[in-house]
Amino acid sequence: MTRIAVAGASGLTGSALVRSLTGDGHDVLRLVRRAPRAADEVRWDPKKGEVDVERLAGCDAVVNLAGAGIGDRRWTDAYKREIRDSRVLGTRTLAEAIAGLSTPPRVFVNGSAVGYYGSTGSRAVDESAPAGEGFLASLCVEWEAAVAPAREAGVRTVLPRTGLVVSRAGGAWGKLFPLFKAGLGGRLGDGRQYWSYIALHDHVAALRHCLDTEGLAGPVNLTAPHPATNREVAAAMGRVLRRPALFPAPAPALRLVLGEMAGEVLGSTRAVPTRLLESGFEFAFPGLEQAIRSA
């Protein structure tokens, strides 16, 4: 049995990962930002840089998926600061705690996102591509840099750069399903922008692959092999749900409703999982319709 600490265990992917790990008999500790109510909970306060270090001792792995929802609110200056602090400060807290352990875990898997690449148009990018421009790109650069204490302490550190997770339970796709089921779905803007997606099942499996694959370290794109345009996404959603996809959201309307975040919705990131595939990972739902049907 392996002991694994998970931050962000109540989120979409975190809760699915915890179920997968405990289902296979692993001992999982869930980091919570309140007083612990169960033996498997560990108190931490990422903003204050506090975590119960004694409870992390003896962990074989630490997974950090914590962070305020990117699309939960309009991007005011205050909420952008919340998005940034929840990721950067939390990562730094865990990385420093790990580095300070007499026997650190063998691996630290710390979330990141394909937002690192910025808008790449139709150009495909893998982990060798440089950082792009914009709020999410600069956030990801700072987020990934915060793992330095753990990496410098010799801990194998993996940075899964995740795309849009296909799930009915939450995230961006979780907001699409009700719209398309009601027959109100359609492309966003001109629909030519690429979406790098991954089925929730494959996302969890890929995170476990990152935990288990010795030698795999640094950035790893967690996206399906063939990103799709938003126009293709809308058409596939319509086919799977047997609803018309006739209600496009024009770019000016998106900018009016979403403000700065509209730039990310209308931006195009065509990220491909080169390192994941080279390390032997096999997707269960590699195609767009397969991923949507799996949800």
Q: What is the pTM of this model?
A: 0.94
| Average pLDDT for 97-109 | 96
pLDDT in tens, 168-183: 998 888 888 888 888 8
Residue 293 phi, psi (nearest 5): -65, -35
Q: Over 70: is that where the pLDDT of 259 sits?
A: no
When pLDDT is cut at 50, 70 and 90, the band that residue 75 belongs to is confident
| Average pLDDT for 47-60 | 93
At 208 the pLDDT is: 98
| Average pLDDT for 264-287 | 92
| CA-to-CA dists, residue 288 to 34, 57, 92, angstroms | 39, 41, 35
Q: Over pLDDT 90: what percentage of the chain?
A: 77
At 112 the pLDDT is: 97
The Cα–Cα gap between 208 and 211 comes to: 5
Q: Over 70: is that where the pLDDT of 260 sits?
A: no
Q: Over 80: is that where the pLDDT of 133 sits?
A: yes
Q: Over 60: is that where the pLDDT of 262 sits?
A: no
When pLDDT is cut at 50, 70 and 90, the band that residue 247 belongs to is confident
When pLDDT is cut at 50, 70 and 90, the band that residue 163 belongs to is very high
| Average pLDDT for 151-167 | 96
| Average pLDDT for 221-246 | 93
Cβ pair 26, 3 in contact under 8 A: yes
Spatial neighbors of 33 by CB under 8 A, at least 6 apart, are 43, 44, 45, 46
Q: Over 70: is that where the pLDDT of 265 sits?
A: no
At 250 the pLDDT is: 62
Q: Over 60: is that where the pLDDT of 16 sits?
A: yes
Question: H helices within 100-147, ranges in order?
Answer: 135-145
Average model confidence (pLDDT) for the chain? 92
Q: Over 90: is that where the pLDDT of 85 sits?
A: yes
The Cα–Cα gap between 155 and 203 comes to: 23
Q: What residue numbers bound the domain in which 78 lies? A: 3-294
Nearest CA among 178, 208, 175 for reference residue 284: 208
Q: Over 80: is that where the pLDDT of 17 sits?
A: yes
Q: Over 80: is that where the pLDDT of 261 sits?
A: no
Number of domains in the chain: 1
β 228-229/194-195 pair status? antiparallel
CA atoms within 13 A on the CB side of 100: 13
When pLDDT is cut at 50, 70 and 90, the band that residue 74 belongs to is confident
| CA-to-CA dists, residue 170 to 50, 154, 184, 242, angstroms | 28, 35, 18, 21
Domain with residue 105: its CATH number is: 3.40.50.720
Spatial neighbors of 86 by CB under 8 A, at least 6 apart, are 46, 47, 66, 67, 68
The Cα–Cα gap between 216 and 140 comes to: 20
Q: Over 70: is that where the pLDDT of 264 sits?
A: no
| Average pLDDT for 81-108 | 96
Cβ pair 109, 255 in contact under 8 A: no
Apex 211 CA angle, 206 and 212, nearest 5: 95
